[in-house]
């Protein structure tokens, strides 16, 4: 364990949390020496396979060649609104804020988005799309005026059949659903079938929120939670740990408050310093120049472990990856369908992606190109892949493993083989290290494996898709470049 973390001197750490915190820091060191975790401790999330920036160019015709709609006709639908009130200092998403997100600009975007939906529906040979779940994300979909939201939802529900939709969820910044207009927004969302909200709370410490440049303080976040509940929404609260200048005490206090709020889901995000997509926040540059001003990795690991202890003590267990709930049935249907059940999923809007069984397409991240492609009557897709056999096998294993578990009969249905036929050496090694567990029907991360879920899943990556170079990992048995071949 690093000498500079003195656990018993941190006020907020209860004596009963000491031994498991020490144990987790010990596991971190051990797994780093075995090559599971890069030597500098950095992480890159295993969200898609391959990682989102690694797709080659593709055009619409190549992408849809040979594609047939799902037999039950159902798609998971994602809609992206790339506008926010302010630019948060940690955010890597390409969003427009302030004057760049004028009402006129948002109108222009919404018109393009409607056209994109029409082009896509035509491309699939459909009149309307049947949704199994819907997520409006961003950016901040509630950073639309009431008129804009109403007009867009009217259009959307005329093109998307919601009769089979199991959940209609929104990603929301708390400042957009408080006050008179905010409450009207909630009513409007509800009237079009909205039933779940993910609120970006990030912290309940005003000093941290200020450093993050969030558009709300603690009181407004609490108000937003109350208003959403009153309006009848289920709630998922998102929190970030490891943000520069956020102390262990502040983080523990935030999570202790969070469990008292009576929400269905609590989601933990480790601060992403390396951007996941193409766009990067100012934080990435600052890290290169002043790495010492960032939270030491061991402290980040400690913060995660403490949050898990507090959540577990208060009845919250990890459900979908990094989301903690009291009730097993509370989770994002969209995430479950896309990452665990591997349903066909369509994304509309800037940066949105579509995952269509054996293929993946990514929309452009550039506003000008987005508008220009749609003006030409084309989908704004510019990168993607029809997966070859190797990539499909790894994708079908990595996504469910990261987010829930691999149900072997489903894996076989998708790929025609059992995971053990293909990955037996790797599975055995990870079981030997106590990172995986297995029975006849399932393959899942152990409690320890779940803590390091991204790195364990990266064990199944083809080397060229690994996020860090071979020399960045110790040359131990778990160096992901060892034995990665199928
Ligand atoms: C795409 S944002 C949308 C939510 C909404 N715009 C908001 O911020 O309230 C989804 C969540 O990703 C998380 N997030 C964004 N940037 C991050 C970063 N650099 N590191 C860790 N988590 C991040 C935040 O918790 C955020 O609430
Ligand atoms: S974190 Fe959310 S509110 Fe902040 S800039 Fe990013 S998308 Fe917008």
Ligand 2 pocket: which of 140, 202, 208, 283 to mutate (most atoms <8 Å of CB)?
140
Residues with CB under 6 A from ligand 1: 84, 90-93, 138-140, 171, 173, 200, 202, 238, 240, 269, 271-272
The protein residue whose alpha carbon is closest to atom 17 in ligand 1 is 91
Euclidean distance between CA atoms 285 and 290, whole angstroms:
9
Nearest to 63 by CA among 345, 350, 351, 360: 360
Residues having CB closer than 6 A to ligand 2 are 84, 87-88, 91, 93, 95, 138-140, 173, 200
Report the candidate in 120, 189, 199, 135 with the shortest Cα–Cα distance to residue 166. 135
Task: Please tell me the distance between residue 453's alpha carbon and the centre of ligand 2 in angstroms.
Answer: 25
Which ligand 1 atom is the nearest neighbour of the CA of 137?
Answer: 3
Q: Is the pLDDT of residue 285 over 90?
A: no
On whether both 181 and 330 belong to a single domain, the answer is yes
Our measurement of the distance from residue 447's CA atom to the centroid of its chain's CA atoms, rounded to an integer in Å, reads 20
Please state the pTM of the whole predicted model: 0.96
CATH number at residue 406: 1.10.10.920
Please tell me the distance between residue 88's alpha carbon and the centre of ligand 1 in angstroms: 9
Find the domain containing 284 and state its range: 56-339
**Cα(454) to centroid of ligand 1, in Å?**
18
- Residue from 200, 303, 304, 335 to probe ligand 1 pocket by mutation (most atoms less than 8 Å from CB): 200
Mutating to test ligand 1, I would choose from 240, 242, 322, 350 the residue with most ligand atoms within 8 A of its C-beta, which is 240
**pLDDT in the model for residue 305:** 97
- 68 and 213: one domain? yes
pLDDT digits (tens, 9 = 90+) for 296-336: 999 999 999 999 999 999 999 999 999 999 999 999 999 99
Q: How many other C-beta atoms are found inside a 10 Å radius of the C-beta of residue 228?
A: 27
The band of 458, judged by pLDDT with boundaries at 50, 70 and 90, is very high
Q: How far is Cα 112 from Cα 95, in angstroms, rounded to an integer?
A: 16
Q: Ligand 1 center to residue 170 CA distance, Å? A: 13
Ligand nearest to the CA of 44: 1
> Do 203 and 335 lie in a common domain?
yes
Rounded Cα–Cα distance for residues 363 and 347 (Å): 8
Residues 69 and 51 in one domain: no
Give the mean model confidence (pLDDT) for residues 420-430. 95
What is the distance in A from the centroid of ligand 1 to the CA of 403?
18
Cα 288 to ligand 1 centroid, rounded to whole Å: 21
Measured between alpha carbons, how far apart are the two ends of the chain, in Å?
35
Substitution site in 171, 213, 454 for ligand 1 pocket (most atoms within 8 Å of beta carbon): 171
Residue 419 and residue 137: Cα distance in Å, rounded? 33
Shared domain for 319 and 420, answered yes or no, is: no
Pocket of ligand 1, candidates 52, 79, 82, 91: which has the most ligand atoms within 8 Å of its Cβ, to mutate? Answer: 91
> Domain check: are 328 and 422 in the same one?
no
The neighbouring-strand residues paired with 42 are none
Burial of 368 (0-12, 13-18, 19+ CB in 10 A): exposed
The answer to whether the CB of 44 falls within 8 A of the CB of 51 is: yes
Asked if residue 26 is part of any domain, the answer here is no
pLDDT beyond 60 at 367: yes
Quick one: 326 and 284 in the same domain?
yes
Q: Please tell me whether residues 227 and 129 are part of one structural domain.
A: yes
Question: In angstroms, what CA-CA distances link 202 with 93, 210, 370?
Answer: 16, 11, 30
Between 274 and 250, the more confident residue is: 250
Are residue 131 and residue 233 in the same domain, yes or no? yes
Q: Kindly report the protein residue whose alpha carbon is nearest to atom 1 of ligand 2.
A: 91
Q: Say if 203 falls within a structural domain.
A: yes
Strand partners, 75: 131
CATH code (residue 170): 3.80.30.20
CA gap 119, 113 in Å, rounded:
10
Number of Cβ atoms within 10 Å of the Cβ of 98? 11
User: For 83-135, what is each residue's pLDDT tens digit?
Assistant: 999 999 999 999 999 999 999 999 999 999 999 999 999 999 999 999 999 99
Q: Indicate if 311 and 398 belong to the same structural domain.
A: no
Q: From the CA of 352, which ligand is nearest?
A: 1
Tell me 338's DSSP state.
I
Ligand nearest to the CA of 213: 2
144 occurs within a structural domain: yes
| 230-248 b/e (C-beta count within 10 Å ≥ 16 → b) | ebebbbbbbbbbbbbebbb
- List alpha helices for 404-480, DSSP H: 408-415, 419-432, 447-451, 453-458
pLDDT for 485 equals 46
246 assigned to some structural domain = yes
The verdict on 140 and 226 lying in the same domain is yes
Query: Confidence band (pLDDT; 50, 70, 90) for 7?
Result: confident
Whether residue 20 is contained in a domain is answered as no
Whether residues 51 and 103 fall in one domain:
no
- For residue 483, what pLDDT is reported? 65
Burial class (CB in 10 A: 0-12, 13-18, 19+), 366: middle
The answer to whether residues 221 and 186 touch, using CB atoms and an 8 Å cutoff, is: no
Judge whether 352 lies within some domain: no
- Using CA positions, which residue lies closest to atom 11 of ligand 1? 200
Distance CA 24, CA 40 (A): 17
Answer whether residue 479 is part of any domain: yes
**Domain final residue, candidates 339, 360, 376:** 339
What is the average pLDDT across 178-198?
98
- Rounded to whole angstroms, the Cα distance separating 107 from 319 reads 38
Q: pLDDT value at position 423?
A: 95
Q: What is the rounded distance in angstroms from the CA atom of residue 33 to the CA atom of residue 477?
A: 9
* Residue nearest ligand 1's atom 21 by CA: 271
In this model, does residue 9 exceed pLDDT 80? no
For residue 247, being part of any structural domain is answered with yes
Nearest residue to 173 (alpha-carbon basis) of 133, 135, 215, 206: 215
The total domain count for the chain is 2
**What is the per-residue pLDDT for 284?**
87
């Amino acid at each position: 364990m690093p000498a500079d973390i003195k656990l018993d001197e941190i006020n907020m750490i209860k004596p009963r949390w000491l031994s498991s915190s020490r144990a987790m820091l010990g596991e971190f060191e051990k797994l780093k020496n075995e090559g599971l975790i890069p030597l500098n401790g950095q992480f890159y999330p295993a969200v898609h396979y391959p990682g989102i920036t690694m797709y080659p160019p593709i055009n619409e015709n190549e992408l849809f060649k040979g594609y047939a709609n799902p037999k039950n006709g159902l798609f998971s639908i994602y809609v992206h609104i790339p506008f926010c009130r302010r630019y948060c200092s940690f955010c890597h998403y390409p969003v427009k804020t302030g004057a760049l997100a004028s009402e006129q600009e948002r109108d222009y975007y919404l018109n393009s988005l409607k056209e994109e939906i029409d082009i896509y529906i035509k491309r699939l040979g459909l009149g309307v799309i049947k949704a199994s779940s819907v997520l409006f994300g961003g950016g901040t979909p509630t950073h639309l005026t009431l008129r804009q939201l109403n007009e867009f939802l009217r259009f959307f529900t005329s093109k998307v059949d919601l009769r089979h939709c199991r959940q209609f969820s929104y990603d929301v910044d708390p400042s957009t659903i408080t006050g008179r207009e905010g409450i009207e927004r909630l009513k409007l969302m509800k009237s079009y079938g909205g039933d779940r909200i993910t609120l970006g709370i990030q912290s309940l410490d005003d000093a941290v929120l200020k450093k993050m440049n969030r558009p709300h303080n603690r009181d407004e976040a609490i108000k937003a939670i109350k208003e959403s509940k009153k309006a009848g929404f289920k709630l998922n609260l998102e929190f970030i740990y490891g943000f520069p200048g956020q102390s262990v005490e502040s983080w523990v206090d935030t999570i202790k408050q969070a469990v008292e709020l009576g929400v269905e889901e609590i989601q933990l995000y480790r601060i992403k310093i390396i951007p996941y997509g193409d766009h990067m926040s100012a934080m990435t540059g600052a890290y290169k120049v002043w790495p010492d001003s960032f939270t030491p990795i061991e402290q980040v690991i400690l913060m995660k472990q403490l949050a898990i202890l507090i959540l577990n003590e208060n009845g919250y267990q990890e459900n979908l990856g990094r989301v903690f709930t009291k009730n097993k049935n509370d989770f994002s249907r969209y995430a479950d369908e896309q990452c665990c059940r591997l349903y066909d999923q369509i994304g509309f809007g800037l940066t949105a992606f579509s995952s269509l069984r054996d293929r993946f397409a990514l929309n452009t991240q550039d506003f000008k190109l987005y508008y220009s492609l749609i003006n030409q009557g084309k989908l704004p897709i510019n990168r993607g892949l029809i997966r070859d056999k190797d990539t499909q096998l790894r994708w079908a294993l990595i996504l469910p493993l990261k987010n829930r578990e691999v149900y072997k009969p489903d894996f076989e249905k998708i790929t025609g083989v059992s995971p053990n036929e293909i990955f037996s050496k790797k599975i055995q090694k990870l079981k030997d290290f106590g990172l995986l567990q297995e029975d006849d029907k399932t393959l899942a991360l152990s409690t320890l494996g779940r803590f390091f879920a991204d790195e364990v899943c990266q064990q199944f990556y083809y080397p060229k898709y690994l996020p860090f170079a071979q020399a960045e990992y110790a040359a131990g048995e778990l160096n992901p470049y060892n034995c990665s071949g199928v």
